Amino acid sequence: MASAASRSPKTTLIVDGANVIGARPDGWWKDRAGAALRLHDRLLVADIEYDVVVLVLEGQAKSGVRPGKDAHVRTVHAPKDGDSTIVAEARRAAEKGDRVVVVTADRALDARVHGAGATTLSPTWLLARL
């Protein structure tokens, strides 16, 4: 088994589910669980170059996708607010030496994840690849 120092860094993409789902006015507010499931399913087949994708869901959206790992996508249900869960996930991955990117348009969250060692990309960037 390779030590953490000898393994090549993984790339981790953390998706702010609420922010990405809300980026398009496609009626998501009528069925938050269904919108979360559609995003999850699109992430499973997306052609993006990340070793790990973490989808963070909160509120009603959590009922659309069970927590846990599905291929390269790991779904996390935020126990309270999604932002704190996203920051914790970013910090955990960065501490392992991973290159971490968070997809969000939330400026306050952007500042918090930068402090945790992550960079950010916009929901538009991700949606163009799905």
The per-residue pLDDT for 51 is 93
DSSP 47-101: ----SEEEEEE-GGGGGGS-SEEETTEEEEE-SS-HHHHHHHHHHHHHHTT-EEE
Tokens 């996390």 correspond to: 76
CATH number at residue 79: 3.40.50.1010
Looking at the chain, how many residues does it have? 130
**Residue 85 is assigned to a structural domain of this protein:** yes
Number of domains the chain contains: 1
**Residue 3 is assigned to a structural domain of this protein:** no
Residue 2: is its pLDDT beyond 90? Answer: no
Structural domain of residue 40, as residue ranges?
11-129
At 77-119, the pLDDT tens digits run 999 899 999 999 999 999 999 999 999 999 999 999 999 999 9
Taking residue 73's Cβ as centre, other Cβ atoms within 10 Å add up to 23
The per-residue pLDDT for 7 is 59
The per-residue pLDDT for 88 is 97
What value does the mean pLDDT of the chain take? 92
What is the average per-residue pLDDT within 49-72?
95
**Residue 97 is assigned to a structural domain of this protein:** yes
Tokens 């659309």 correspond to: 64
State the Cα–Cα distance between residues 63 and 54, nearest whole angstrom.
Answer: 17
Q: Give the confidence band of 4 by pLDDT, cuts at 50, 70, 90.
A: very low
